[in-house]
Amino acid sequence: MPHVFEAAPSGRAKCRGCNRTIAKGEIRFGERLANPYAEGEMSLWFHPLCAAYKRPEPLLEALAEAAPELALEREKLSAAAHAALAHRRLPRIDGAQRAPSGQAKCRHCRQPIERGAWRIRLVFYEEGRFSPGGFLHVSCRHEYFENQEAWEALLHFSPDLTEEDREELARAYRGE
């Protein structure tokens, strides 16, 4: 079965990209893949924009089909997916948060991330699953993503930040 865009028949499924519920009637993206645990296929459901950032290849495949449901969103989705394809590590971005303790080490420089400092959360995708992939200093992203822009995805997966948080994060991102 090909990947699909469709209106969610219920409000029960959660998006694999952001873990939030996909509202009934909202357009969702289904990535079809062989079920690694049983015979047949399974679908991973996403908000389309979440898939654009975290699963750009299957999303672009599906966009290339007509997908008339998407009308106005096509360009936005395509731009987000192409941005995510600029570096193989960009789809790992899972949002930003302040480090709740000084325990975690940065995946890039291996130094501890200071308590209260902004960090980038990473996830790894493998065979239909996203698993926690550790954290990055905001400043280490330059090298980790080889200077590719990460801001839009970072904000997209940090929907709970307050206005003030976003400004702080923006300053950290700019290196201020």
- Residues in contact with Zn ion by CB under 5 A are 15, 17-18, 47, 50, 106, 108-109, 137, 140
Nearer to Zn ion, 20 or 171 (CB): 20
CA–CA gap between residue 24 and residue 29 (Å, rounded): 13
> 3-state DSSP call for residue 121?
strand
Q: Is 49 exposed, middle or buried (0-12, 13-18, 19+ CB in 10 A)?
A: buried
Q: How far is the CB of 126 from Zn ion (least distance, A)?
A: 19
Q: How far is the CB of 156 from Zn ion (least distance, A)?
A: 9
Q: How far is the CB of 90 from Zn ion (least distance, A)?
A: 16
Nearer to Zn ion, 40 or 87 (CB): 87
Q: How far is the CB of 25 from Zn ion (least distance, A)?
A: 16
Other C-beta atoms lying within 10 Å of the C-beta of residue 161: 17
User: Do 43 and 30 form a contact (C-beta atoms < 8 A)?
Assistant: yes
Nearer to Zn ion, 70 or 140 (CB): 140
- DSSP letter at 70 equals G
Nearer to Zn ion, 40 or 115 (CB): 115
